[in-house]
Structure 1
Amino acid sequence: MYPISDLFTKYLKESGRNFLVKAEINGTEYGNDVVVEFTVDNSLVLGEEFEIGTTTLSELIIKLRTEDEIPPNARIVPYLALTLPPQYAGAEQAWQDVNVAWQDAGFLWGGAVTEWLPLGEFFVDSRERVNDTWVYTCFDRLVWADVAYVSSLTYPTTQQAVWDEICGRLGYVYDSSVGINPAFQIQAGPAGYSMRQVLGYIASANGASVFVGKDGVIKFRRFVSSEPTVFEMTASDYIRAATVNPVKTYTRVVVTYNTEDGLTYEAGTGDDNHTLYVENPFATQTITDALFAQLNGFSYQPVTMDARGFPQIEAGDRIRFGQAVDSPAWQDADTAWQDTAYSWDGFIGGGITLALHMVFSFKGGLKMSLEAPSKSEQQSEFVVEGSLTQQVNKINRDAVWQGKSYFGVTVTRTDGLIVEREDHASKAIFNSDKISMQAGGVDKIYFDPVSGKYKFNGTLEASDGVFSGTLSAANGSFSGTLVAANGTFTGTLVGVDGEFSGTISASTITGGTINGTTITGSLIQTSASYPRAAMNNASNLFGAYKDANNYIEMNSNYIGAPVINVASSGAIRGQVGSSSGGTNDLFVSASSILNLRSGGDIYLDPGVSGGKVRTSWSELIDGAITLQSELNDKQGSADAWTSYGYNLTFDPSTRNLKMFNRFGSQIAIVNIP
């Protein structure tokens, strides 16, 4: 019940009270001269029975006589206050007649106005002009929750975390009445539900319903079997009170967590008339047991009532109604026991009911209608369906409904067939214009109807798979590892900074222009078997091989200078290269004597100490005999060479010894230090 002052409470009981009304609309106040009338409809039930987990919208219909333009979604808060005429006997009291403490006395002497009591916070939904008045239909802020809930939480998570995420997104403020069991969890992201539905499911798991208070704050109305009454109404407070069924009591709870297959949890015992049915996809047996412990024995008197307006009553309040009487003391009772019907708590008749549906109507005065519906025992046990109801139920069983989720599969008018995971991490859309596989709300595999192409957005991986046909990537990029085991690429494959692992087979590999293509690798060879030529990044940089024992290769010597090795029968027989890496350094060596000759004229003998050049096996060139003199002396031998078609010349300026064949081509050159 909404808190009000003692003065407001007192004035409500006075028959001569007068109501004042005003409405605050987007920060502007309109008084009695503008507000013609209004009705406020508050409800915690949707059907003919008590239920939990509801999130019913409260509705305001207000008539204003104004030419001001009220914008769409404008915020409207109606207020009430009370006053008594100055001449009314109860309006002024002597000091000695006031029975409240001074600090608690809110009396306004002389018939002044009480505080203003809000009747809720509403937002304009539609409007209609009737003669010279505007009629606005408005709903409370729960209307903003009628949007799809796509959670960003990591599941499983607590119901409290989900509740806070939704309220945070909608800007809702809730008070201490919202009590959520910290142990209750939601295992997967709710798919296909609105935020308002999820709020209701969380409330039902905790034995409550959701409503917006008169101050615009989100609240729980939590029901407990042993709860006390918060308001009492005597016969003078209501015009009519009719009990429509016997007292309703619940001793069993059945929670349906899968409506398609009718899967349920239950606790307690009792027939249908004593069973509370709840629908909650997040329910567990633990939640069901907790509901039973909370609601076992919960009861109320079904009633319809027309009464004076008590605007402090809120949806779901427990109310006692009946005739107030003064019961005599035991010693004063003068009737037989069996004839005595005294009510020791001061009430006879009536009972205890719930304000499950209330309507406040203002037309100069305030009227309240209250309803606590229930099905009769016969309706609960034997449901008689008419022919139309039977056909509708058959359609509900057999038809696929637009917008309804079936195990994550939904059919909608705009998208066609939708398959979505519960936590919204992935989604598939199928229709004639769009085929899309989404992850995180982004198209990953989809058909583009404009270009008429199927597109991939992400990583395409075929582990142990086979692609047949043509794989074309026009102006595209491959990043990561592209593996094609036993695959064939036809056409042109262009890759910038790519890597291939495994075997690449091709009849022809063509590079670009000069200096335009770089091939880098550890081994490049003409054949996997002998004979072959090969280049690699090991010590043998380049070579031509007849087999493993007979070859010519470019290598490096012990100081890293390049040399050419000539090998036969598995052993290196000679080398040509640089001994020190200098610019004018060239050496020719052999395993024994290096013979540069045609018929055997000049020998380079490494076996002689220091190395010698000799013109015969017994003659050595030393300091006393110059090479030039020896060459001159051997002119005859040179002539003999010429007769065989060879020619040997020596250039003293460069100290180069050159040999030419009979065709004039130089076949050897040696620099003599």
Structure 2
Amino acid sequence: MYPISPLYADYLRRKDREFLVKANIAGIEYDNRVIVDFEIDNSLVLGDEFAIGTTTLSKLTIKLRTNDIIPSSAKVVPYLALSMTGVSWDDAEFAWQDADFPWSGGPSSWLPLGEFYVDSRSKVNDVWEFTCYDKLVFADAAYISSLPYPATMKAVWDEICTRLGYTYDSSVVINPAYQIQAGPAGYSMRQILGYIASANNASVFAGKDGTIKFKRFSAAETPVFNITGSDYIRAVQINPIKTYTRVVVTYNTEDGLTYEAGSGDENHTLYVENPFATQAMVNNLHAQLNGLSYLPVAMDAMGFPQLEHGDCIGFSVDEGLTWENATIPWQDMDIPWDGIVHYKTFILHKVYSFKGGLKMSIEAPSKSEQQSEFVVEGTLSQQVNKINRDAVKQGRSYYGATITRTEGLIVEREDHASKVVLNSDEMTFYKGSDKAIWFDLPSNRYKFKGTLEAADGVFSGSLSAATGTFAGSLSAATGTFAGNLSAAGGTFTGALSAATGTFAGSLSAATGTFSGNLSAAGGTFTGTLVAANGSFSGTITAATINGGTITGAVIRTASSYPYSIMDTTGNYFGAYASANNYIKVSPFYFSSPRPVLSFTNGGFDVTFDHFAPGYFKISALELHLDANVFITDNQTLWVNDWSRIITNSGNLETELTNIGYQIMSKASAGVSTGQSGGHNHGIPDGTVLRTADGGTVTYFSAPNHSHAQV
């Protein structure tokens, strides 16, 4: 229900109420001197039964006596106000803050009745009649989504509203966990809005202020407005009270696939169509709608413009039977003492008519129990339903396949990721909007764009490729491959023969013999490469090489520093950190057969070599170890007794150990000695001695003390 002031609500119930009317059309305001009359038709249902998920258009029919040119699709907003002429503050029965009219009286606030757009017009004499629809009419356009799927229903709803320029209020509550799995092809935006609403137990309508709203239903809903017996002219009960205890949602109309929740017969079952429904959604619908009841009614009443379609209203009916004239036992009576029975219903269809005064017609239709249980179809209906069920229709999608007059047979995924077009002029497989496989009529050839992959098969004729990569198993009994044969990996079986050529990528063979020249500018061989004999020229690169005997001039671990090396040309083994930092072992000293071990650090050389029979030489700026040990010219150290260096008993080791003990027992500089006892040199403490200059001193003995070593 649209919010109004307490004053407005009170004066709407007065029998002497007087309305003022105006309309804003394309920015120009017309009052009741131009407006002849108007009628507004609002509905939440299209048939004769309660429903959810509807997006029914509201319709305005307005008559104007004007010569103005009203533009096409002009926006029309009708307004109503109550005339307060003759009413002043001293007549008011409201607190001053609740009275929304001038001190001296005048019109109340203007209440909008909706936003509409001109659709068609006709003229009778000097009166123009315009037929207008609300803004949901603009949603009758194909929905082509730009979202990545799966997408939430909330994201889809927002994309449509943004595209159409719609605003919606807080009544629109969409479960954030509800998703649409693939792009909804073949639906209009109005259909998608309805499907999202039905999943969330609602119907969609445009409000009086032009915002998009949800009408959500609940079994526990209470009336927002009560119509008394003096407010309506007549109220006709159409059928018994309608109650729902079971929900059935059809998600595939072609095959009749459904989800359902609850229990009950046809008369208590609510049917909904939603291609995006899940069992969880249906369970939630049943939890909210189980036990929903309303009285099917048709009512003519005074106009209450604040009421919106979908509102739950209460009204009372005098059943004409009171307790005082009852003829049945009291325990069986289900009526009030005064015979006035109160009912609840929903405004499912509403019409406002203004012709000086405001009249309102309300309907809450329903099928009877017999109509719900037994649907009787006429002969024509049976044939139409049979055609709908059996015939293939132009433009309708069957598992993604559609037949059109312009393109023939089209098979397309819902998210438009792939499509096939087949007709007499075109046979094309698309990836998105790009051709992937097609028959090119001018060249009379089938063409492929992308990756050609086959589990098995034989290609006859010439297989020629300018470039490309073959993945998987490429098998040929015989034949020659011309051009570049490239494979990322795989196994070649049969005879692979090439007069010349280069294999790029991975060439893998479980068994087999390669004859002729096998040449590779670069590449990696994986698996087992077996050759009876032959020579490999060029570069062979492998992460791991396992073999028996490997013979070569130079073997090294890297092409640049640091690396280890075996060099048969220079006859040495070495480990290099840089050109001036290495360790090298060689059986030759320069060109002589003389074992040598060299260390180099920044150009400073230390060399161990067999200098001559009977001694060994260590050179570091000419430092020698020989049978005698001494230094010549401060550069050479000679060792006389070689055995004293080699053996371990009574030799250099023992001597060095003894020297170490002696060094350890030596006094250390700066370390204090042990404490010595105090002494007085035979002079008692306190003795007064006279000095040479005639003075005196008192003598005391030295205490315990120590001395620092030098």
Q: Which category of TM-score, normalised to the shorter sequence, fits these structures? A: 0.5 to 0.7
2:417 aligned residue? 425
* 1:39 Cα deviation after fit: 2.0
* 1:354 Cα deviation after fit: 1.1
Q: Give the TM-score of the pair, scaled to structure 1.
A: 0.66
Question: Which segment is superposed worse, 75-84 or 287-296?
Answer: 75-84
Alignment CA distance shift 1:270-1:323 (3 Å): closer
1:399 equivalenced with 2:395 (yes/no): no
1:290 aligned residue? 284
* 1:301 Cα deviation after fit: 0.8
1:410 equivalenced with 2:392 (yes/no): no
AA aligned to 1:352 is K
Superposed CA deviations along residues 452-472 of structure 1, whole A, max 9, x for unmatched, are 876555455557555556789
Match of 1:183 among 148, 163, 177: 177
SS in 2 for 1:210: strand
Superposed CA deviations along residues 610-657 of structure 1, whole A, max 9, x for unmatched, are xxxxxxxxxxxxxxxxxxxxxxxxxxxxxxxxxxxxxxxxxxxxxxxx
* 1:275 Cα deviation after fit: 1.0
* 1:335 Cα deviation after fit: 8.9
Superposed CA deviations along residues 478-523 of structure 1, whole A, max 9, x for unmatched, are 677799946899999799xx999999967799xxxxxxxxx99479
Whether the 8 Å contact between 1:234 and 1:324 is mirrored in structure 2 is no
SS in 2 for 1:384: coil
Alignment CA distance shift 1:520-1:323 (3 Å): closer
1:79 aligned residue? 79
Whether the 8 Å contact between 1:191 and 1:408 is mirrored in structure 2 is no
Q: Give the TM-score of the pair, scaled to structure 2.
A: 0.63
* 1:77 Cα deviation after fit: 1.7
Whether the 8 Å contact between 1:11 and 1:83 is mirrored in structure 2 is no
Match of 1:139 among 133, 138, 142: 133
AA aligned to 2:273 is E
Alignment of 1:160-171 (within 5 A): 160-171=154-165
SS in 2 for 1:69: coil
Please list every run of 5 or more consecutive structure 1 residues that lacks an aligned counterpart in the other structure.
Answer: 510-518, 524-528, 539-554, 559-673
Whether the 8 Å contact between 2:520 and 2:538 is mirrored in structure 1 is no
AA aligned to 1:94 is D
Whether the 8 Å contact between 1:192 and 1:408 is mirrored in structure 2 is no
Whether the 8 Å contact between 1:151 and 1:424 is mirrored in structure 2 is no
* 1:109 Cα deviation after fit: 4.4
1:69 aligned residue? 69
Q: Distance in 2 between matches of 1:34 and 1:533?
A: 105
Alignment CA distance shift 1:263-1:534 (3 Å): closer
AA aligned to 1:59 is K
Please list every run of 5 or more consecutive structure 2 residues that lacks an aligned counterpart in the other structure.
Answer: 502-518, 524-530, 541-551, 556-710
1:117 equivalenced with 2:114 (yes/no): no
Superposed CA deviations along residues 172-212 of structure 1, whole A, max 9, x for unmatched, are 21111112222333333323222222221121112111111
SS in 2 for 1:265: strand
Match of 1:157 among 151, 175, 186: 151
SS in 2 for 1:66: coil
Match of 2:231 among 237, 246, 254: 237
* 1:410 Cα deviation after fit: 2.7
SS in 2 for 1:400: coil
2:221 aligned residue? 227
Match of 2:382 among 387, 390, 408: 390
Alignment of 1:237-636 (within 5 A): 237-322=231-316, 348-349=340-341, 351-446=343-438, 456-461=448-453, 467-468=459-460, 485=474, 521=521, 536=538
AA aligned to 1:187 is Q
Superposed CA deviations along residues 264-308 of structure 1, whole A, max 9, x for unmatched, are 222222111111111122222222221111111101111112222
Q: Distance in 2 between matches of 1:530 and 1:226?
A: 90
Alignment CA distance shift 1:465-1:381 (3 Å): same
Q: Distance in 1 between matches of 2:446 and 2:63?
A: 57
AA aligned to 2:108 is T
SS in 1 for 2:193: helix
Alignment CA distance shift 1:360-1:195 (3 Å): same
Superposed CA deviations along residues 303-353 of structure 1, whole A, max 9, x for unmatched, are 11222221111111111123599xx9xxxx999997999987999246222
Q: Distance in 2 between matches of 1:114 and 1:296?
A: 42
Alignment CA distance shift 1:355-1:419 (3 Å): same
Calculate the aligned-residue CA RMSD, in Å: 4.2
Whether the 8 Å contact between 1:303 and 1:373 is mirrored in structure 2 is yes
1:106 equivalenced with 2:100 (yes/no): yes
AA aligned to 1:122 is F
1:21 equivalenced with 2:13 (yes/no): no
Whether the 8 Å contact between 2:89 and 2:105 is mirrored in structure 1 is no
1:665 aligned residue? none
Question: Which segment is superposed worse, 173-182 or 405-414?
Answer: 405-414
* 1:372 Cα deviation after fit: 0.8
Alignment CA distance shift 1:107-1:201 (3 Å): same
Q: Distance in 2 between matches of 1:346 and 1:205?
A: 43
2:631 aligned residue? none
Q: Distance in 1 between matches of 2:69 and 2:467?
A: 60
Superposed CA deviations along residues 523-572 of structure 1, whole A, max 9, x for unmatched, are 9xxxxx9999997569xxxxxxxxxxxxxxxx9999xxxxxxxxxxxxxx
Alignment CA distance shift 1:337-1:112 (3 Å): farther
Q: Distance in 2 between matches of 1:136 and 1:450?
A: 56
* 1:393 Cα deviation after fit: 1.7
Whether the 8 Å contact between 2:261 and 2:286 is mirrored in structure 1 is yes
Q: Distance in 2 between matches of 1:343 and 1:214?
A: 38
Whether the 8 Å contact between 2:101 and 2:109 is mirrored in structure 1 is no
* 1:418 Cα deviation after fit: 2.7
SS in 1 for 2:194: helix
Question: Which segment is superposed worse, 334-343 or 145-154?
Answer: 334-343
SS in 1 for 2:281: helix
AA aligned to 1:369 is S
Alignment CA distance shift 1:113-1:439 (3 Å): farther
1:94 aligned residue? 90
AA aligned to 1:198 is I
Whether the 8 Å contact between 1:322 and 1:347 is mirrored in structure 2 is no
Q: Distance in 2 between matches of 1:454 and 1:170?
A: 43
1:580 aligned residue? none
Whether the 8 Å contact between 2:61 and 2:131 is mirrored in structure 1 is yes
1:588 aligned residue? none
Question: Which segment is superposed worse, 65-74 or 464-473?
Answer: 464-473
Whether the 8 Å contact between 2:469 and 2:488 is mirrored in structure 1 is no
1:547 aligned residue? none
Alignment CA distance shift 1:500-1:428 (3 Å): closer
SS in 2 for 1:55: coil
Whether the 8 Å contact between 2:412 and 2:419 is mirrored in structure 1 is yes
SS in 1 for 2:191: helix
Superposed CA deviations along residues 120-179 of structure 1, whole A, max 9, x for unmatched, are 112233333443343332222222222233333333333222222222322221111112
Whether the 8 Å contact between 1:40 and 1:359 is mirrored in structure 2 is yes
Q: Distance in 1 between matches of 2:130 and 2:481?
A: 71
Alignment CA distance shift 1:231-1:173 (3 Å): same
SS in 1 for 2:50: coil
